[in-house]
Amino acid sequence: MAELLKHHRPLLPRRDGTTTPPHVSPLLVLIAPDTYEDTVELLDSFYNDGGNFIDVSQFEPQEWVGTWLRNRENRDKMVISVSMRMDSFALTSSFRLEIEKTLTRLGVDCIDLLFIQEWDHSLSIEETMHSLNSLIKDNKVRFIGADMLPMWVVAQANQFARDRQLHGFDMYWRGFYAHRHFTSEELQDMCKIWHMGLAVYLSDPDEGRGKESTATGQRLREVAKSHRVSVDFVDLAYALSQFPHAILSYPCTNLASISDATTGLGLLLTGRQGSD
């Protein structure tokens, strides 16, 4: 299963006249170990198996990742993402200061991918996109992602950026639930029109749902049992069937969770099971 991590693909579609996107493993690991030793063990295993895409947003001791990067001398081989809230102070020095603090903790000059989450509707699209574009121009950030932002906001923001030759959103990150049949075509169309990459993460198939979701959750459990894997793996495989070019994000705290994630990548559903 570990061989799957070596099959790198472009982070996002190439746009004319823009920075060439890096190639990444099909798994984005959300780093969350409890100790420095676990962090090193997890990162070594992931990297040695071919993984190179990590997110450190929820990992407070980011210095541990920075130490690992320095000791392994592999910064140029890793792609690092961070998520931050876009709120009313985003246009002030405070937002840039948070970026600088993250860079210092990681011991790097630039964040590869900055995800913006929780769009503040009190901010205009014009102000926001100019602010984000300045981070690109100053080489603090290479690419900009949208973390669960409304798709209409992302589309309007990218249209504004295109009309003014600014840097728009490069990637979209959203939660995925096998039992929630949102309009996948709409998401695929948005990513295609704006040449955006896509990352998805998984959630509990029965979370906050009634009888219908419980029934679907039961079906997922039946499929999981037939493959002798957990329900998460079935969700993961279903996401891959809906979005074959998506990057899968998965929280990892130890070697076992890395193994779980790669197992999920290798799970293949039959046509019948995938459509049920």
The domains of the chain are located at 2-275
Domain boundaries 2-275, corresponding CATH code? 3.20.20.100
pLDDT category of residue 208 using cuts at 50, 70 and 90? very low
* Model confidence at 20: pLDDT above 70: yes
Per-residue pLDDT of 75-118, as tens digits, reads: 999 999 999 887 655 556 678 888 999 999 999 999 999 999 88
Inform me whether the pLDDT recorded for 138 exceeds 70: yes
**Beta carbons of 132 and 142 less than 8 angstroms apart:** no
Give Cβ neighbours of residue 5 (< 8 Å, ≥ 6 apart): 25, 26, 27, 46, 49, 50, 51, 262, 265
What pLDDT is recorded for position 157? 96
Span 123-151, mean pLDDT? 92
Q: Is the pLDDT of residue 196 over 90?
A: yes
SS3 of the chain: the string is: CHHHHHCCEECCCCCCCCCCCCEECCEEEEECCCCHHHHHHHHHHHHHCCCCEEECCCCCCHHHHHHHHHHHCCHHHCEEEEEEECCCCCCCHHHHHHHHHHHHHHCCCCEEEEEEECCCCCCCHHHHHHHHHHHHHCCCEEEEEEECCCHHHHHHHHHHHHHCCCCCCCEEEEEECCCCCCCHHHHHHHHHHCCCEEEEEECCCCCCCCHHHHHHHHHHHHHHHHHCCCHHHHHHHHHHHHCCCCEEEEEECCHHHHHHHHHHHHCCCCHHHHHC
- Contact in structure between 151 and 186 (CB atoms under 8 Å): yes
Q: Which pTM does this prediction carry?
A: 0.87
Token reading at 25: 């493993």
Mean pLDDT value across residues 254-273: 69
| Residue whose C-alpha is closest to residue 168's, from 189, 205, 193, 188 | 193
Mean per-residue pLDDT over the chain, rounded: 83
Phi, psi of 250 (to 5 degrees): -150, 130
More confident site: 72 or 60: 72
- Would you state the structure tokens that stand for residue 112, as one six-digit string? 């590869």
The pLDDT confidence band at residue 17, using thresholds 50, 70 and 90, is: low
Distance in Å from the first CA to the final CA of the chain: 26
